[in-house]
């Protein structure tokens, strides 16, 4: 064993989609909406700012972390609802870069957030943030390099108003966060398969099942079966089912997880506290 830290450490803070509720209270799979942290080389990368970002922010504050990169997949409520309650925004010692790239109307990242955080929807605006904040606007397909040795590639997803998939890589490992995406049943998405190629782990929008897809055409979501097909085609061994419908009970999600695992043993249903440590690739080589 080695004391060397993971190349990438992924933790789920919120795996629910659409609304921060669950039929079971408490729920094994949580009610908090989309938020995932990835630690790499001592840096903190955060994907989406659903209500799961609130406890993450409290931990970042307690650990006195100062450098944070927040990547927004898109700006639907379930992905930004936790933003005003992210403690590091109010800490003058923090430096935070917020990256957004899905906008189809030409808005900048800062304009997007200023629109969202303003009266009467919220009592105060961005001017209340005390941290040093850089608002980064990019286009899906751009590569973002938050720190030396850490790359984040981006790709467009098929979703109303647009959404972005992120591929984070460090230490020879990579993982993809791809949620809020509607696949076209019966056809392959070769561009997305290329983007996923050979990643170690995929966090994927599994709101529906294949059987449900025709009922929700145009809603912008995918199925766990498609997540498995993508993993097989791209050579990915681990699949995190994500963006659970707020209508799914724990029993529903346990059944879906069991079905997914029967077909693909590397599948697991996302839930707060679920964590993966991906060791640097060199660790696996013989001495
Ligand atoms: Zn969503
Ligand atoms: Zn959405």
The count of structural domains within the chain is: 1
Question: Is residue 121 a contact partner of residue 91, using CB atoms and an 8 Å limit?
Answer: no
CB 220 within 8 A of CB 208: no
Does residue 88 belong to any structural domain of this protein?
yes
Q: Reduced to 3 states, what is the DSSP secondary structure of residue 286?
A: coil
Give the mean model confidence (pLDDT) for residues 58-63. 96
Q: What is the mean pLDDT of the chain?
A: 95
Q: Does residue 285 form part of some domain?
A: no
Indicate whether 17 pLDDT > 60: yes
Cα–Cα dist 12/56, whole Å: 10
Q: Does residue 200 lie within any of the structural domains?
A: yes
Ligand of minimum distance to the alpha carbon of 164: 2
Residue 278 lies in a domain: no
Within-domain flag for 192: yes
Residue 287 lies in a domain: no
Domain CATH number, residue 189: 3.60.15.10
Element containing residue 204 per DSSP (H, E)? strand 201-205
Cis omega before residue 120 (within 30°)?
yes
Q: How far is the CA of 226 from the centre of ligand 1 (A)?
A: 17
How many whole angstroms from 185 Cα to the centroid of ligand 1? 20
pLDDT at 56 exceeding the cut of 90 = yes
CA of 141 to the centre of ligand 1 (A): 20
Distance CA 173, CA 10 (A): 12
* Interval 52-59 mean pLDDT: 98
Host domain of residue 85 = 8-273
State in Å: Cα 197 to ligand 2 middle: 24
Q: Measuring CA to CA, which residue among 216, 227, 135, 246 is closest to residue 189?
A: 227
Q: Could you tell me if residue 31 is inside a domain?
A: yes
Q: Is residue 3 part of a domain?
A: no
User: Is the pLDDT at 1 greater than 60, yes or no?
Assistant: no
């Amino acid at each position: 064993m080695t004391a060397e830290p993971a190349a990438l450490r992924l933790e789920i803070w919120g795996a629910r989609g659409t609304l921060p509720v669950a039929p079971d209270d408490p729920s094994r799979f949580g009610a908090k909406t989309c938020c995932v942290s990835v630690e790499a080389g001592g840096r903190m990368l955060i994907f989406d700012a659903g209500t799961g970002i609130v406890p993450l922010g409290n931990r970042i504050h307690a650990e006195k972390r100062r450098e944070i990169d927040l990547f927004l997949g898109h700006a639907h409520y379930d992905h930004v609802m936790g933003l005003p309650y992210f403690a590091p925004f109010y800490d003058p010692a923090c430096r935070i870069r917020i990256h957004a790239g899905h906008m189809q109307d030409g808005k900048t990242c800062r304009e997007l957030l200023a629109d969202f955080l303003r009266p009467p929807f919220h009592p105060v605006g961005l001017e209340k943030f005390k941290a040093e904040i850089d608002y980064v606007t990019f286009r899906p397909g751009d590569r973002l390099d938050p720190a030396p040795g850490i790359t984040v590639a981006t790709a467009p997803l098929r979703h109303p108003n647009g959404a972005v998939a992120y591929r984070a890589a460090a230490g020879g490992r990579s993982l993809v966060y791809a949620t809020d995406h509607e696949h076209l049943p019966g056809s392959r998405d070769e561009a997305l398969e290329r983007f996923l190629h050979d990643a170690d782990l995929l966090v994927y929008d599994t709101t529906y099942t294949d059987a449900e897809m025709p009922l929700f055409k145009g809603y912008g979501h995918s199925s766990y079966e498609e997540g498995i097909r993508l993993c097989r085609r791209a050579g990915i061994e681990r699949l995190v089912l994500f963006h659970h419908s707020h209508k799914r009970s724990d029993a529903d999600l346990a059944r879906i997880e069991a079905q997914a695992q029967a077909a693909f043993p590397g599948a697991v249903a996302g839930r707060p506290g679920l964590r993966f440590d991906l060791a640097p690739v060199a660790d696996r080589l013989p001495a």
